[in-house]
Amino acid sequence: MIRYDILKTIAPILKDRLVVCNIGSPSQELYQLLDQPSNFYMLGTMGLCSSIGLGVALVQDQPVIAIDGDGSVLTNLATLSTIANNPADNFVLLIVDNGSYGSTGDQPTYAGMATSLTEVAKACGCRNVVECSAEETAAELERAISSGKMTIIISKCQPGNVNVSVIDDDPVNIANRFSNQIRELNS
Amino acid sequence: MPTTTDKAILDSLVRNKIGFITSVPCKQLAGVIELVDSHEEIYHIPSNKEDEGMGLCAGAYLGGTRSAIIMQNTALGVAINSLVTLIQYYHIPLPMLISYRGEVGEKVACQVEMAIHTKPLLQQLNIPHYHFTKAEQVNSLDGILQHSQMCKKPVAILADASFWSSAS
């Protein structure tokens, strides 16, 4: 399974939930599969998906799912220590770990070599860290949301992207509809 | 020990409903950070790097809470991409309380290197900036914080060594 297959299997779980999605292919693929006002698409700023997701989770009560990638987490590796030390039990960080920089031509990342993001997350002090296969991801995500405990899921899958178009929506519109949705869900 | 000026900064942040603050420390900012950390209406989340902090602030703002970052001017070099492609691109208000190292009164020569580039960088990025050199300028902070929310832009408050040394 590649990232797109995982997104397809988790789309029913993501429906009507707050989702912060990583830059490039992940956001473009999610946009095609399940565009909804409660999705925040990153159009730039590699590495900050988990930080944005944690920020949203810390200031309101609805569950937040950040869909990040191994390359992106490596860019902002210290985020795992910030997450561990500021736990938000409504936060799930799903790291789609395909061992490659998918949006830039599938160059290999260190997460697909000697570095284990699962072990890094644990060493940073994250409590509920789950490594699973692509096939197990939907069940693990469901479990993480219903557990009411902040969870980091590292979903190991194959590299590869599908051919989807870029997101042509306006960033301010993406931000506004996301914020409005948060207000509505919390009212 | 926090000074009266540190307290005035905190009061202004609270008055302007800033409920989420991230910080990367600087000696000059220690008093403010201490006050922010212990204030019950503010969630203070230290970040490891300023671009990470801007991600956290963006998320908090989208989630419905006004946010701000406390940092050194040296961090502008770290944070430009985040300022441009996240904070500015999505119209997120972000007050940046910046310890303006490397100005007159500085003791560490290397800090001057980045101080020289600070205002030109902010200028180039179209970021409104306000240079604080005297403690009484803290009185203009309310207006600056309101301005940032009104125009949904990042703003920089550059508080230099003269400002902090004139603090009582």
Closest-CA residue of chain B to A170: B90
Q: What is the C-alpha separation between A80 and A84, in angstroms, rounded?
A: 6
Of B46, B52, B85, Cβ closest to residue A79:
B52
- Whether residues A59 and B43 touch (CB distance < 8 A) is answered with yes
Q: What is the C-alpha separation between A92 and A148, in angstroms, rounded?
A: 10
> How is domain A3-186 classified at the CATH fold level?
Rossmann fold (3.40.50)
Residues of chain B with C-beta less than 8 angstroms from the C-beta of A58: 20, 43, 45, 56, 59-60, 63
Domain ranges of chain A: 3-186
The DSSP bridge partners found for residue B72 are: B99
Mean pLDDT for the stretch of residues A170-182: 98
Sequence-separated contacts (24+) of B40-43 with Cβ below 8 Å: B41/B14, B42/B13, B42/B14, B42/B18, B43/A58, B43/A59, B43/B19
pLDDT confidence of B159, banded at 50, 70, 90? Answer: very high
Q: What is the C-alpha separation between A153 and B143, in angstroms, rounded?
A: 44
Mean pLDDT for the stretch of residues B39-66: 98
Interface of A with B (CB under 8 A): 20, 40, 42-45, 47-60, 76, 78-79, 81-82, 86, 171-172, 174-175, 178-179, 182-183, 186
For residue B62, what pLDDT is reported? Answer: 98
For residue B16, CA distances in Å to A127, B59, B148, B157, B167 come to: 35, 19, 11, 15, 22
Q: What is the C-alpha separation between B118 and B121, in angstroms, rounded?
A: 5
Mean pLDDT for the stretch of residues A161-181: 96
pLDDT confidence of B148, banded at 50, 70, 90? Answer: very high
Mean pLDDT for the stretch of residues A153-177: 96
pLDDT confidence of B5, banded at 50, 70, 90? Answer: very high
pLDDT confidence of B1, banded at 50, 70, 90? Answer: confident
**Residue B168 above 90 pLDDT?**
no
For residue A15, what pLDDT is reported? Answer: 98
Q: Is the CB of residue A12 less than 8 Å from the CB of residue A5?
A: no
Mean pLDDT for the stretch of residues A99-107: 92
Q: How far is CA A3 from the centre of its chain?
A: 11
Q: pTM, whole model, 2 decimals?
A: 0.98
Q: Is the CB of residue A68 less than 8 Å from the CB of residue A92?
A: no
What does the pLDDT look like over A45-87, one tens digit per residue? 999 999 999 999 999 999 999 999 999 999 999 999 999 999 9
Q: What is the C-alpha separation between A106 and B41, in angstroms, rounded?
A: 45
Q: Which is it for the CA torsion B133, B138, B139, B141, positive or negative?
A: positive
- Lowest-confidence segment of B29-33, B43-47, B78-82, B102-106 by average pLDDT: B102-106
What percent of chain A is modeled with pLDDT above 70? Answer: 100
CATH code of the domain occupying B4-165: 3.40.50.970
H helices of chain B, in order, are 4-15, 30-38, 50-62, 76-82, 109-124, 141-151, 161-165
- Residue A38: closest CA among A176, A149, A187: A176
Q: Is B160 helix (H, G, I), strand (E, B) or coil?
A: strand
For residue B118, what pLDDT is reported? Answer: 98
